[in-house]
Amino acid sequence: MLEGILPQIHPPVTLLGVVLVLLLLYLLSSTTGPGKEPPGPRPLPLLGNLLHLDLKRLQVSLCELSKKYGPVFTIHLGPKKVVVLAGYKTVKQALVNYAEEFGDREISPMFRDTIKGHGVLFSNGNSWKEMRRFSLTNLRDFGMGKRRSEEKIIEESRYLIEVFENFKGEPFDTTQPVNYSVSNIICAIVYGTRFDYADPAFKKMVDRANENIRLAGSVEIRLYNMFPWLRWCCGWWLVNRTQIVKNTEKNLEEISGLVQGLRDTLNSQDLRGFVDSFLVRQQEESDQLGSYFHNNNLQYTVGNLFAAGTDTTGTTLRWGLLLMAKYPHIQDQVQEELSRVIGDREPRMEDRRNLPYTDAVIHEIQRLANIVPMSIPHTTSCDVTFQGYVIKKGTTVIPLLTSVLQDEEEWETPHSFNPGHFLDEKGCFVKKDAFLPFSAGRRACLGESLARMELFLFFTFLLQRFRFTPPPGVSEEDLDLTPCLGFTLNPSPHRLCAVSRT
């Protein structure tokens, strides 16, 4: 039978047909105009706009394209159509004024593989709503952004100072001690306890979570998210994907063990943290069919809080120390203000209103560090007409936070480290509407109030005690501010000296 059919197939004709189909798709995909889809560069079949993009600096490529195509434009990441929102006014309008329409989360193939729609960060629908509502309520109940958290951060700051002092002014990498300290704040709220920095299981959990965030922004994973079928035809090449899956599974195993320990000692009259609260709610709804309070949501929500709460604050704090070493004259002014206002006593949150320059420096660190440059992509929950363009339901949307934090219409020197962005002519701190490092709207960062408190207290404790300098033989000019490629933008590998001021 096959012998009679195969000779009738003419490869050149078949190939021509494929080419014609791809050409037709190409021409159709480029159709745009006012009142239709947002404009953008014409995509190639299959590849989309990859030739227009630098995957190692994707946010930079998108900012450049926005100059040509405007604040709402379309790009094709491979065959996938994506709408990019650029500039403060456009991003805020979409995320705040059209919060429902732009409020769903885009679940990329990599996160679909590892998180599977559970938890609070990469989920949608009623499960997400329930987990976010419960998480916000309970994180606040256990002190997020309140005096209870302040005491935890102050205690952890003392431990971190001890670690820095042990280096006796010699150069060291700040990454692990800073990440362990910040992670312990989340652990205290989630589990009701902190961990010793030498605890091998704790160290491995933090390191695996941070490695995953770094690998998730690699070129390999970006290509995998565009072409998920690569997994089936050349899975051997996807080493980063394999490592992310392994790290995720191992951390879930560790979380499961910690949760089980809390379950075995649970006392509903004396809740120790977020996990206890979840376990009580789980017991209350044990006979309810379809309850969202199941073990998968517990483990993945804890994993989300642990990873996101550690990486974002830890990365920002490390940028802050690097920038102080890079710009010693700004460090001088921070330390002069701390000495004048606080003296030798420990800083408290109530001091912030009397430390306008220090507060401005911390805000400027967040702005310039720009650690989540493309936010976490959204999807549209319905067809929406936005700024005269029609964006269809289910379209991936990138709120380009880089273009907000470096908007030339909002910031005097958008590409320079300038605390004056947050000071008036009298030296008083001023809020800026375009300061959106935590994003905005329905998907704004859950832990914003906690992160603000951590950044202020850790930063002031460290600057009060130490002067941060480059290693011997390295000048301030030699300190590199080029970020590393990752899901978040970390500083390039470096070492600093923490010289005691006492």
8 Å CB contact between 114 and 245: yes
* Phi and psi at residue 342, to the nearest 5°: -105, -35
Residue pair 83/385 in contact by the 8 Å Cβ criterion? no
Polymer length of the chain: 502
Structure tokens at 432: 């800026």
Decide the pairing of beta strands 384-386 and 389-391. antiparallel
Residue corresponding to tokens 């491979």: 78
Per the DSSP assignment, residues forming a β-bridge with 86 are 400
Pairing of strands 378-379, 396-400: antiparallel
- Residues with Cβ < 8 Å from 386, sequence gap 6 or more? 72, 93, 94, 98, 101
For 174-179, the CB contacts below 8 A with 24+ separation are 174/318, 174/321, 174/496, 175/210, 175/314, 175/318, 176/203, 176/206, 176/207, 178/314, 178/317, 178/318, 178/321, 178/458, 179/206, 179/210, 179/310, 179/311, 179/314
Q: Residue 48: left (phi > 0), alpha (psi -120 to 50), or beta?
A: left
Say if residue 445 carries a ligand binding annotation: yes
DSSP string, 86-122: ESHHHHHIIIIITTTTT-EEP--HHHHHHTTT-SSSS
User: Which residues belong to the annotated binding site for heme?
Assistant: 445
User: Which residues belong to the annotated binding site?
Assistant: 445
